[in-house]
């Protein structure tokens, strides 16, 4: 890790000095061709492997390209920084050369880096679910004093298929009070992993504020805070994997809103001229929204739905307005966020707000526009009869799968 970090910083320094003193722009291939001379002058770089060293220089080149691309677009990007050994994220082997993975039945695996006397062995837990695969790359990283290896496999499309156990059609409304509410009224409670650990997290942060920055005790408490955050993230990821897998395995159609957590969790501070209101309350709501991880749940549903042949229907929230629309008469009934019960002003239909939203997105998954033309929006669609559902095809984004099998 230290040698890869040194190579990264040396490559960045070379690019800066070459442009500053001679106006020369050095690219990735110039630095890659200098690797044999570097290994001859510094023999300790030779056991690391040529491909791993090239990948470190490629990371530097990608960082420089991203900086110039954003600067050209009128943004204000930060210039790539020199990295200390403690903050260097890791290094990679971009192909199967220089490492090997040994599978030991169902009990785990062993990862070997390098060869001969310089080889290093790492044990891994669990196993993958593929019978045939090819090793693609491996990334070694260090987080909170622990080492991790991320192995990527090349697998055929047919080998990634999941066996679906049911053919249900479900509408899902994600929320904070209940993590998910379905059209039939069933709910999945929000585990609130972050809220349960907030007292312990606050106590550690108060202790760290009393220590001198950079001292041994300060660094020790910083590691404890990092380990606690990592534990919360692992619990959240495990919960999301289990719930999304259960949904995909039992459903042929899943309809939900296309949420944008970044917009939902914006700060309420405002500006100096127009300061915001209820800033602390909005900060607490933002924390709960981010802790629920709607964005990660949608990503998991997207790729798992493709593997299982499930149709994932994502409606446009601004066009459809699921929380304001009645699932019985399809009319809009404005409500504030505090109103948790839907009472239609037109037909009198009463239902819990989240359950009504889930029913609306499921109806939209089977709604056919009057004219199959480009640009038809939800508000212009034919209204279904009172307390009846139309059964069409929607113009909103869906995952590429066989709709015939899903229906």
173 is annotated as an active-site residue: yes
Ordered by start, the domain boundaries in the chain are 2-84, 95-159, 168-201+231-406
Tell me the per-residue pLDDT of 318-342, one tens digit each, with 9 for 90 and over.
Answer: 889 999 999 999 999 898 888 999 9
Mean pLDDT of 345-356: 92
The pLDDT score that the predictor gives to residue 379 is 35
The pLDDT score that the predictor gives to residue 19 is 94
The pLDDT score that the predictor gives to residue 41 is 95
Tell me the per-residue pLDDT of 11-36, one tens digit each, with 9 for 90 and over.
Answer: 999 999 999 999 999 999 999 999 99
Mean pLDDT of 96-106: 82
| Residue 103 in this model has a pLDDT that exceeds 90 | no
List the one residue out of 138, 94, 144 whose CA is nearest residue 120.
138
378 — pLDDT class (breaks 50, 70, 90) = very low
Q: How many residues comprise the chain?
A: 407
Mean pLDDT of 215-219: 94
CA distance linking residue 286 with residue 263, whole number of Å: 10
The pLDDT score that the predictor gives to residue 121 is 86
The pLDDT score that the predictor gives to residue 118 is 74
The pLDDT score that the predictor gives to residue 108 is 78
| Residue 398 in this model has a pLDDT that exceeds 70 | no
Q: How remote is the C-alpha of 251 from its chain's centroid?
A: 22
Beta strands 134-143 and 90-93 are antiparallel
Tell me the per-residue pLDDT of 129-169, one tens digit each, with 9 for 90 and over.
Answer: 787 888 899 999 988 778 888 899 899 888 888 888 889 99
| Residue 4 in this model has a pLDDT that exceeds 90 | yes
Catalytic annotation, pick one of 61, 75, 163, 173:
173
The pLDDT score that the predictor gives to residue 371 is 37
401 — pLDDT class (breaks 50, 70, 90) = very low
The pLDDT score that the predictor gives to residue 377 is 34
Q: What is the pTM of this model?
A: 0.80
The pLDDT score that the predictor gives to residue 407 is 38
The pLDDT score that the predictor gives to residue 372 is 36
80 — pLDDT class (breaks 50, 70, 90) = very high
Q: Any idea what the Cα angle at residue 51 is, between residues 49 and 52, rounded to 5°?
A: 70
Tell me the per-residue pLDDT of 279-303, one tens digit each, with 9 for 90 and over.
Answer: 888 899 999 999 999 999 999 999 9
Catalytic annotation, pick one of 178, 183, 354, 398:
354
CA distances to 20, 221, 304, 348 from 299, in Å: 43, 33, 9, 37
| Residue 117 in this model has a pLDDT that exceeds 70 | yes
The pLDDT score that the predictor gives to residue 396 is 45
The pLDDT score that the predictor gives to residue 47 is 87
Of residues 252 and 144, more confidence is placed in: 252
Mean pLDDT of 260-283: 85
Average pLDDT of the chain is 86
Catalytic annotation, pick one of 183, 257, 364, 398:
257
354 is annotated as an active-site residue: yes
| Residue 364 in this model has a pLDDT that exceeds 50 | yes
The pLDDT score that the predictor gives to residue 127 is 73
């Amino acid at each position: 890790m230290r040698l890869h970090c040194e190579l990264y910083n040396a490559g960045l320094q070379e690019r800066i000095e070459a442009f500053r003193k001679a106006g020369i722009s050095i690219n990735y291939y110039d630095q890659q061709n200098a690797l044999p001379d570097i290994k001859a002058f510094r023999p300790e770089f030779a056991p690391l492997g040529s491909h791993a060293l090239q990948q470190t220089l490629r990371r530097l080149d990608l960082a420089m390209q991203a900086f110039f691309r954003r600067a050209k677009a009128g943004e204000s990007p930060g210039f790539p920084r020199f990295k200390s050994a403690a903050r260097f994220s890791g290094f990679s082997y971009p192909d199967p050369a220089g490492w090997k993975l040994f599978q030991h039945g169902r009990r785990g695996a062993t990862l070997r880096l390098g060869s001969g006397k310089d080889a290093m062995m790492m044990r891994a837990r669990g196993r993958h679910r593929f019978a045939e695969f090819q090793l693609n790359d491996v990334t070694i990283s260090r987080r909170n004093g622990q080492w991790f290896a991320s192995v990527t496999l090349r697998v055929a499309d047919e080998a990634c298929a999941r066996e679906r156990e049911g053919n249900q059609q479900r509408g899902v409304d994600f929320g904070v009070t209940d993590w998910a509410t379905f059209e039939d009224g069933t709910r999945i409670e929000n585990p609130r992993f972050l809220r349960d650990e907030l007292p312990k997290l606050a106590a550690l942060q108060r202790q760290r504020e009393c220590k001198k920055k950079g001292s041994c005790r300060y660094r020790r408490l910083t590691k404890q805070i990092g380990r606690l955050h990592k534990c919360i993230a692992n619990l959240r990821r495990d919960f999301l994997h289990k719930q999304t897998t259960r949904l995909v395995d039992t459903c042929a159609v899943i309809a939900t809103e296309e949420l944008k957590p970044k917009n939902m969790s914006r700060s309420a501070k405002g500006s100096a001229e127009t300061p915001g209101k209820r800033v602390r309350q909005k900060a607490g709501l933002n924390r709960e929204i981010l802790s629920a991880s709607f964005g990660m749940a949608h990503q998991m549903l997207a790729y798992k739905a493709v593997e299982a042949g499930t149709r994932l229907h994502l409606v446009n929230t601004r066009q459809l307005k699921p929380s304001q629309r009645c699932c019985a008469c399809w009319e809009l009934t404005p409500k504030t966020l505090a109103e948790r019960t839907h009472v239609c002003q037109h037909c009198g239909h009463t239902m819990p707000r989240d359950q009504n939203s889930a029913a609306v997105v499921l109806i939209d998954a089977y709604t056919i526009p009057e004219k199959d033309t480009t640009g038809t929006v939800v508000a212009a669609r034919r209204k279904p009869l009172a307390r009846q559902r139309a059964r069409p095809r929607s113009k909103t984004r869906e995952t590429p799968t066989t709709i015939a099998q899903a229906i």
